Amino acid sequence: GAGVSQTPSNKVTEKGKYVELRCDPISGHTALYWYRQSLGQGPEFLIYFQGTGAADDSGLPNDRFFAVRPEGSVSTLKIQRTERGDSAVYLCASSLRPPSGRGKEAQYFGPGTRLLVL
């Protein structure tokens, strides 16, 4: 079946511009996650949705970052007034059930969007 898809695959923008990154999760997956990955590092958690609501946005670095999932499926990560330090790969993942400390919910990742801020 179809996996997690992300668009665009690459995005180049100028400092100060606004960007939107899209994630289409696996059909039926209720939980959706956004991560950011810098070169040589592991993915860093940004935000997690359960259904339409942001269940945990504690990883968002500042208020320039915002994400929505209005119908509980597709999600959009929005970055305002981009800075060069925002350059990274932005990964989206989904899981069938929400995360829990005792859970066994595997995450399925998309290929990522490579964002370059000039």
Positions in the binding site for other proteins (CB under 8 A): 4, 33, 35, 40-45, 48, 55-59, 91, 93, 99-104, 106-112
Residue pointed to by tokens 């007034």: 81
Burial environment of residue 18 by CB neighbours within 10 A (0 to 12, 13 to 18, 19 or more): exposed
Whether residue 8 is preceded by a cis peptide bond, meaning omega within 30 degrees of 0, is yes
Nearer to other proteins, 45 or 74 (CB): 45
Nearest to 20 by CA among 59, 65, 51, 53: 65
Q: First and final CA of the chain: distance in angstroms?
A: 37
**Residue 100: φ, ψ to 5°:** -150, 160
